[in-house]
Amino acid sequence: MKTRLPAPTVLAVVSLVVTLGTASAPAQEKAPKPDTSDATPFAYAAPAFIKELDSRYPAQPPIPPSPRYGGVLHFPASVRTFDPTGGYRPELALVWDTLTEWEATWYFPEVQRTPMIRKTLATSWEMVNPSTWIFKLRQGVRFHNRPPVNGREMTAEDVKYSYELLKDKVSYATRAALVKTVHVIDKYTVKFELTLPDPKFYLNVVDSLSPVIVPREAVEAPGGLAENPIGTGAFMLREFVPGEGALLVRNPDYYLKDKDGRSLPYVDAVLLFFTKDPATDTALFRTKQVDLMRVATLDVLYALMKTVPDMQLYRVPSFGWGDYGVSMAVDKAPYNDVRVRQALSMAINRDVIAEVINRGDASLYGPFPWALAGYTKRADYSYASLGPNYQYNPKKARELLAAAGYPAGFEMELEWAEFQGWTFNEFVQIVARYFGDIGVRVKLKQLETSTWLNKAGGSQPFAHALAAFSPIGAGPSFMDWTYPRYHSSFPRTVNRAGINDPKLDDLLTTWRQDPGDKRGVLQRAIWDHLRANVYRITTIVPPHYRITQAYVHAAGNPYCWFPGYCSYEAKTAWMTDKAPSRKFDKFAQ
């Protein structure tokens, strides 16, 4: 994308490699050398451009000194209830664990280039066949020592119960959609039977997008998990203040240790602020009431660099997470006409979107991550690779609308919400103007964040169009990012727009059944089909900017950042002796 910033430079494209399950890294063990014998390389989708940031904040973060125990970590959060039965939120990972996690600690610097799996509740896995997988569980893991669970051991029965409970819930359905049944083999062994073969299924149980493990007693107790938020995680919920925040304290019985055998977590407590807008987050950071946050735009980042000069920045190039786009109700008129969808896409000048949203520090974005279509060079992330439907052409857009029977345009309701880390307000204003230029009269409708999340997750319908990021995957799996997102056999909680395209289904099914030789070619064919049909209007994907106070050391990597999908990394964050002294008996002190 174009940029007016001085001295832009493009970072070299880095190739990441997906490791096999045999190359996983338990938190308490030194990370083994990754096995790349069956590797899928992929490139960062949005390398940052700015030379000043490159020199001041290295893309490879320095390894911090030995951690220190103590302190209360503050950061903003989007969660509004601690209850995973209501759907996924990243902060839930503070309380509840999944079978495995992405390794993100900086004393394993290789994770900045090579995805590695941290063994949490599961210690090993085996593919019996692509439709049958066996997982061995860690022994001796206990739920929080609170009634009605009282610290009992987590077993295979809990895994079976949790997957059956959560696999159809918002966002969890993405990861668990292929799970047909879960069988208990013995106290510490479960067998997953899948509805479809998936030779990379072990990637679909990694981190907090997959079902977390919950105890039946807490779910069935009065008030359910909202009143009994008991898990196996590194923190226990002490206080929840609706609309304001939450206080979580260290779990003294947490089972994971760091590479030197020290108990996790390092901090005594975590305090979450339920903020509503980026300005509040920024004000809290400036006054050291927030220690760590994600910054939505380059302008805000530069302003904070001036007022908090000793802050630290981690720039996370995005594989595909966090793009700006518009989902449409493609199962009804006028959006069921491909000409209308193409016209709406052509109406948008993506260069202007990038300039307004993030001063040009962004990459074009297509139907799914570039690398999954075989584009691994930054120069390929271009209009030429996307085709005419992504190029700004209002004249052709008006012609397409007229051909589709809408020479005078039509009315559209575009729903959106404020969400930490994005600037959807500015985005929808620009999009509405561009749509208006071709005769589409847009009514903007701002939603409560919780309602918007439900619509983005497919559990509530939207009337016309929804401004949101693309349905997310985690890690570099085509199955995770694309197959269930577009195949008609999956419910709205996975296939958000209700796409029903027989030709696309055939392509996806052929891809799934292929042993591997032709998958790359098929993925490009699916990309071509999607960019022609524009089932979702995608525009740009900026990098992610994670900032911390100088006294905080926090983990992260390009495919798993905190705060965000890997909020469980609060357990590996630590604070120096320069951190503010804070009490944590109650939320408000």
Number of structural domains the chain divides into: 2
Record the tokens describing residue 189, joined without a space.
Answer: 């062994």
How does residue 334 score in pLDDT terms, banded at 50, 70 and 90?
very high
How does residue 474 score in pLDDT terms, banded at 50, 70 and 90?
low
In a shared domain, residues 410 and 265: no
Alpha helices in 57-190 (DSSP H): 156-166, 172-176
513 occurs within a structural domain: yes
366 occurs within a structural domain: yes
pLDDT exceeds cutoff 80 at 22: no
User: How far apart, in whole angstroms, are the C-alpha atoms of residue 162 and residue 176?
Assistant: 11
> What is the mean predicted confidence (pLDDT) over 17-43?
34
Contact between 85 and 224 under an 8 Å Cβ cutoff? The reply is yes
Q: Torsions phi, psi of 411, nearest 5? A: -90, 140
566 exposure class (CB count in 10 Å sphere: 0-12, 13-18, 19+) = buried
In a shared domain, residues 433 and 465: yes
In a shared domain, residues 279 and 187: yes
pLDDT exceeds cutoff 90 at 450: no
Structure confidence at residue 589 (pLDDT): 57
Structure confidence at residue 8 (pLDDT): 30
585 occurs within a structural domain: no
Name the residue range of residue 238's domain: 15-317+544-575
167 occurs within a structural domain: yes
> What is the mean predicted confidence (pLDDT) over 312-332?
88
How does residue 263 score in pLDDT terms, banded at 50, 70 and 90?
very high
61 occurs within a structural domain: yes
Residues of the chain above pLDDT 70, percent = 89
Q: Looking at 90-104, 173-187, 524-538, which range is the least confident one?
A: 173-187
Structure confidence at residue 384 (pLDDT): 95
Residue 230: give its domain's CATH number: 3.40.190.10
Structure confidence at residue 324 (pLDDT): 95
> What is the mean predicted confidence (pLDDT) over 259-265?
94
Average predicted confidence (pLDDT) for the chain: 86
User: How far apart, in whole angstroms, are the C-alpha atoms of residue 568 and residue 529?
Assistant: 37
Q: What is the pLDDT of residues 197-218, one digit of tens each?
A: 888 888 878 876 789 999 999 9
User: How far apart, in whole angstroms, are the C-alpha atoms of residue 15 and residue 376?
Assistant: 8
Place of tokens 């977390």: 212
372 occurs within a structural domain: yes
Residues of the chain above pLDDT 90, percent = 57
Q: What is the pLDDT of residues 224-246, one digit of tens each?
A: 999 999 999 999 999 998 888 99
User: How far apart, in whole angstroms, are the C-alpha atoms of residue 516 and residue 405?
Assistant: 43
Structure confidence at residue 61 (pLDDT): 73
> What is the mean predicted confidence (pLDDT) over 437-465?
92
pLDDT exceeds cutoff 80 at 357: yes
Higher-pLDDT residue of 589 and 196 is: 196
Q: What is the pLDDT of residues 143-152, one digit of tens each?
A: 999 999 999 9
Contact between 276 and 82 under an 8 Å Cβ cutoff? The reply is no
pTM: 0.80
Structure confidence at residue 47 (pLDDT): 43
In a shared domain, residues 526 and 550: no
Q: Looking at 46-55, 426-435, 461-470, 577-586, which range is the least confident one?
A: 46-55
Structure confidence at residue 588 (pLDDT): 66
* Concatenated DSSP letters of 396-417: HHHHHHHHTT-TT--EEEEEE-
Q: What is the pLDDT of residues 498-519, one digit of tens each?
A: 899 999 999 999 998 887 789 9
In a shared domain, residues 362 and 509: yes
pLDDT exceeds cutoff 60 at 5: no
In a shared domain, residues 107 and 206: yes
> What is the mean predicted confidence (pLDDT) over 454-462?
87
pLDDT exceeds cutoff 50 at 14: no
Higher-pLDDT residue of 339 and 455 is: 339
Contact between 335 and 499 under an 8 Å Cβ cutoff? The reply is no
Q: What is the pLDDT of residues 526-572, one digit of tens each?
A: 999 999 999 999 999 988 889 999 999 998 887 778 888 889 999 99
In a shared domain, residues 136 and 238: yes
In a shared domain, residues 453 and 464: yes
How does residue 23 score in pLDDT terms, banded at 50, 70 and 90?
very low
In a shared domain, residues 311 and 355: no
Residue 361: give its domain's CATH number: 3.10.105.10
